[in-house]
Amino acid sequence: MMKPSKIALAAMSAAALLGLTACGSGGGDDNPLSGPTSASASDTITVGSANFPESELLMDIYAGALQAKGVKTATKPNIGSREVYIPALLDGSIDLVPEYTGVLLQYFDKNATVGDAETTFKALQAALPPDLTVLDKSAAEDKDAVVVTKATAEKDHLTSLGDLAPYAKDMVLGGPPEWKTRETGVPGLKRVYGLTFKSFKPLDAGGPLTVQALKNGQIQAGNLFTTDANIPANGFVVLQDPKGLFGSQNIVPLIRKSKVNDTVSGALNAVSAKLETEALANLVKQVVIDKKDPTAVAKEFLSSNGLG
């Protein structure tokens, strides 16, 4: 597990980086953590999101559920990767963010093995730094996946990650920049499945760049999320993970302990009780494919489940 001193250093490093970004952008308007003050107000829960549509949707669901219980909230969408928003949680720039149990566990404990849902959740609770906690996990899961086009799958007879072994040396793998060093990315694929790709192309986190690169052949395999509606819409094939590299990834609220009370935990736990994988995939489809406003989709989910 990462020691508190190292976490503090990471937070300081991220804060410095964010400061430089703000200075370089002529006022920092494009930086979701910029503003007159970086700290979340004491009477407000600031909900952040990572830089992909599902995370922003979950941010809106959490914020809406809290607002329905009279909790004052603010939102900071599209902050970036875990390497940016975790330090923001630790320094109080944000208070709450939707997370995924397995990958969050491995962020704080590089040597952790992600197993079944309950074991992973308990290990995560033990691995968190003192200022952070997780509330109830949902049944909904969204995992990383390596996907290929239907044509590639048929040509090379690909159904699982292990099937890539003879072909990876001639393939370009695409995904978010952080996948180059994450255990659930390039290093894990090599360690668990013996896959060494021709090259890795940094693109985006389960977003349009990866989808387009797969479609036009810039990459032959790409990282998308299992709930991504672009997978069925484009006929992509998800390669199975029989050795469990991607593990259990239940969605869970990660929050600063100082912002937790009975009202807050009750509202967020009620959301987790209603979130299931199939329902989440449908919500993501509405945002990604149908181009609906995520705030409106979140409001409808809350209303239909008696949460808002």
pLDDT in tens, 169-208: 999 999 999 999 988 899 999 999 999 999 999 999 878 9
The answer to whether the CB of 52 falls within 8 A of the CB of 207 is yes
CB atoms within 10 A of CB 248: 22
Q: Do domains 4-141+248-304 and 144-238 have the same CATH topology?
A: yes
Pair of tokens at residue 155 = 């040509």
Comparing 26-35, 268-277, 281-290, the range with the smallest average pLDDT is 26-35
pLDDT in tens, 147-162: 999 999 999 999 999 9
**92-122 residues labelled b (16+ CB within 10 A) or e (exposed):** bbbbbbbbbbbbbbbbbbeebebeebeebbe
Q: What superfamily would CATH give domain 144-238?
A: Osmoprotection protein (prox); domain 2 (3.40.190.120)
Contacting residues for 219 by C-beta, under 8 A, at least 6 apart: 171, 172, 173, 174, 201, 203, 210, 213
Whole-number pLDDT of residue 18:
36
Average pLDDT over the chain, rounded to an integer? 89
Average pLDDT over residues 290-307: 97
Whole-number pLDDT of residue 33:
60
Domain boundaries, the chain: 4-141+248-304, 144-238
Is the pTM for the entire model greater than 0.85? no
Whole-number pLDDT of residue 260:
98
pLDDT in tens, 36-91: 345 677 889 999 999 999 999 999 999 999 999 999 999 999 999 999 999 999 99
CATH number for the domain formed by residue range(s) 4-141+248-304 = 3.40.190.10
